[in-house]
Amino acid sequence: MLTLLQPMLFALVAWWFSTGLIIFLDGLPRHTFGYTLAGASMLAAAGLWGLHALAPVTTVAGAYGGFLAGLLVWSWLEVSFYTGLVTGPRKAPCAEGCSGWTHLGHAVAASLWHELAILGFAAAVMALSWGQPNAVGAWTFLTLWWMHQSAKLNVFLGVRNLNAQFLPDHLVFLRSFLREAPINLLFPVSITVSTVVCSLMVGEAMAAPAASFRQLAWTFTATLMVLAIIEHWVLVLPLPFARLWDWSLAARPTVATPLRIDVVAGFLGAGKTTVMRRLLDGASPAERTLVLANDFASLGIDGALLAGRGAEVLELANGCICCTLRDDLAGQLTRLAARHAPHRVLIEPSGVADLAALLGALRNPALASVVGQVRVTTVIDAGAFLADYARRPSWFEAQVRVSRQILVNKVDLVQASALAVIRHTLQAIQPGAELIYACHGVPEDGRLLANLPASRAPARPTAMSYHPKAEPAGAARLRSNAPGPYTLGPDAPGLDTPRLDTLGLESWSSPLQGSCDALQLRHLLDELGQGGFGELARVKGIARAGAGWVRFDLAGGQAAIAAHAPQQEEFPRVLVIGQHIDRSGLLRAFQACILPGVLQHG
């Protein structure tokens, strides 16, 4: 047994250290990745040469050398993937709710080049080693390949411990392909196959002469297979196995001072983006602010409306910020804070987001050193509140209960009697909340939103999460296909996102190419507000108009068009949210607003 201990420890340490080193290197600034890959390429070339040179060598040194050669070749594949230099054609996350073959296709596209690179290197390794006296390098490569493929399939199908904290920032989109679940049907198959193969390898090692080349060869591969089995069990058991590589995260950024966070929530069209703009306008110029804006479809609008106001804006399109940030929230906020160095973070969830779920995630003990003060402001559309509340009472109650500060916006659109009904309703739901009455996002009492005191939400917000059973539901399938050429015509029917499960809503979005007639656009908004083209809860977009740009909006039946200053690489687009949306009719209607003879490109 003592003769087996040395190669076992050698294989264990080599595997553990090389894994940690790769994680460390991938946490360094991206400008270093070229040097990292160049170094890995030289080592991989040395590994391939070693496989060729050691193929006829059946000594103890030959066994150690073959194992290292196979490990070096495999390390290149890991380095090239985790630096993001060799991944796949898809660089975007899969939308919340995407499933089945579509989800599988997106997952394959996210790592296609990597998998093809594995096949190429496998062919090279087999050509150099297979059938030769010393095939330790080939068996090492094949065992590592099995570990990789089996673990990858299991985290895709669902396991308890995803260890997403080890994914670097530039591969954050891969988190959408990791599924959290107690176990999956493939797991017992993976464990069984690995255990049987490992038993055979151990038997071969025990049967070989002590300290012989043959014993060393089987010991190396058997040790890797044992590690594969342990690695798989760690995916489903509550074991702190990942702590073995905590040292490898030293290159990842950290937050020196806890972040101050403002969450501005509210239903579609309440005026969240307007309130966010007021917050930015009232902020101190010396205060660095990071904005996380979220929209309900793949072509977001809010990020463009918030840009250029002294803050860095990150737009998270396609659904719910609660879903986008729920995996490894601590790591993501830490990396965002270190990269952008803000004093505070403004978060605008989409108008269909579960605010309680987001606040529950922010209260995670893992975020204690990252998140400081949290101020939650729920924005209410006074003009549309009674109708919206009648349709979705559970959703509104859940939003109001987790907020200590409720901004009743658009009070100029209602009579005093209606405002009294709104006040009594909100106070009955959340007696301790402060009600702030505002018009166009500006408090009537003259206070600046940025100067309002911060107040934490209730200690257990998740207990008041919205439950969709009382609301109409649709199929929860969101598509994240990026738009093709920004054209509007018979062959480009726009991007439609099927129904969102929680509120029975659906969305349609499309690029708008060309210059619009502002008067026709206003007439169209009025028609949409009167129920044309479906039961629409919100319409918003930006468009070219004459020599300039405009932003247009329909919320609570009220239409508005205003001038817009586009950012670099801005493109016109429209987003519609509601029920029973007439997509083809909307396409024709917006196409009719484009002035003939002034079609523009880009």
Q: Which CATH number do you get for residue 529? A: 3.30.1220.10
Express each pLDDT in 18-39 by its tens digit. 999 999 998 888 899 999 999 9
Q: What's the mean per-residue pLDDT of the chain?
A: 79
| Backbone phi, psi, residue 351, to 5° | -70, 0
Residue 323 clears pLDDT 80, i.e. is over it: no
Comparing 114-118, 137-141, 354-358, 535-539, the range with the smallest average pLDDT is 354-358
Residue 446 clears pLDDT 80, i.e. is over it: no
- The answer to the question of residue 285 being in a domain is yes
| The pLDDT of residue 319 | 45
Same domain, 116 and 167: yes
Order of strands across the sheet that contains 548-555: 495-500, 505-511, 573-579, 535-545, 548-555, 558-563
Same domain, 394 and 296: yes
- The answer to the question of residue 249 being in a domain is no
Same domain, 507 and 584: yes
| 462 band by pLDDT with thresholds 50, 70 and 90 | very low
Residue 474 clears pLDDT 50, i.e. is over it: no
- The answer to the question of residue 510 being in a domain is yes
- Over residues 452-479, the mean pLDDT reads 38
Distance between CA atoms of 380 and 263, rounded to whole angstroms? 14
Select the more confidently predicted residue: 124 or 326: 124
The alpha-helical segments, DSSP class H, found in 355-451 are 355-362, 385-391, 393-401, 416-429
Question: 131 in helix, strand or coil?
Answer: coil
| The pLDDT of residue 314 | 59
Distance between CA atoms of 121 and 74, rounded to whole angstroms? 8
- The answer to the question of residue 508 being in a domain is yes
Is residue 63 within 8 A of residue 213, CB to CB? The reply is: yes
Residue located via tokens 């463009």: 304
The alpha-helical segments, DSSP class H, found in 446-561 are 518-529
Same domain, 225 and 364: no
Is residue 494 within 8 A of residue 508, CB to CB? The reply is: yes
Q: Buried b / exposed e across 527-539, counting CB within 10 Å, b at 16+?
A: ebbeeebbebbbb
Question: 535 in helix, strand or coil?
Answer: strand
Distance between CA atoms of 182 and 192, rounded to whole angstroms? 18
- The answer to the question of residue 602 being in a domain is no
Each as own residue / partner, the long-range contacts of residues 98-101 (CB below 8 Å, 24 or more positions apart, any chain) are 98/477, 98/478, 98/479, 98/480, 99/477
Residue 50 clears pLDDT 60, i.e. is over it: yes
- The answer to the question of residue 291 being in a domain is yes
Percent of the chain with pLDDT over 70: 77
Same domain, 416 and 308: yes
| The pLDDT of residue 139 | 95
Comparing 149-158, 324-333, 504-513, 515-524, the range with the smallest average pLDDT is 324-333
Residue 133 clears pLDDT 50, i.e. is over it: yes
Between CA 523 and CA 531, with CA 528 as vertex, the angle to 5 degrees is 135
| The pLDDT of residue 505 | 73
Is residue 407 within 8 A of residue 264, CB to CB? The reply is: no
The alpha carbon dihedral of 472, 477, 480, 484 has a sign of negative
Residue 546 clears pLDDT 60, i.e. is over it: yes
Q: What is the CATH number of the domain that holds 404?
A: 3.40.50.300
Residue 448 clears pLDDT 70, i.e. is over it: no
- The answer to the question of residue 275 being in a domain is yes
Same domain, 124 and 234: yes
Same domain, 562 and 414: no
- Over residues 206-222, the mean pLDDT reads 93
Domains: count for the chain = 3
Same domain, 407 and 465: yes
Sorted by sequence, the CB contacts under 8 Å of residue 152 that are 6+ apart come out as: none
- The answer to the question of residue 257 being in a domain is no
Distance between CA atoms of 74 and 81, rounded to whole angstroms? 11
Same domain, 461 and 536: no
Question: 313 in helix, strand or coil?
Answer: strand
- Tell me which residue of 430, 369, 435, 429 sits closest to 408, measured CA to CA: 435
Residue 591 clears pLDDT 80, i.e. is over it: yes
Same domain, 21 and 157: yes
| The pLDDT of residue 366 | 65
CA distance readout (Å), 269 to 365, 539, 560? 33, 8, 12
Same domain, 82 and 195: yes
DSSP state letter for 262:
E
Sorted by sequence, the CB contacts under 8 Å of residue 71 that are 6+ apart come out as: 14, 15, 18, 47, 140, 144
Distance between CA atoms of 517 and 501, rounded to whole angstroms? 36
Same domain, 326 and 449: yes
Residue 27: domain span: 2-241
Domain boundary among 470, 486, 514: 470
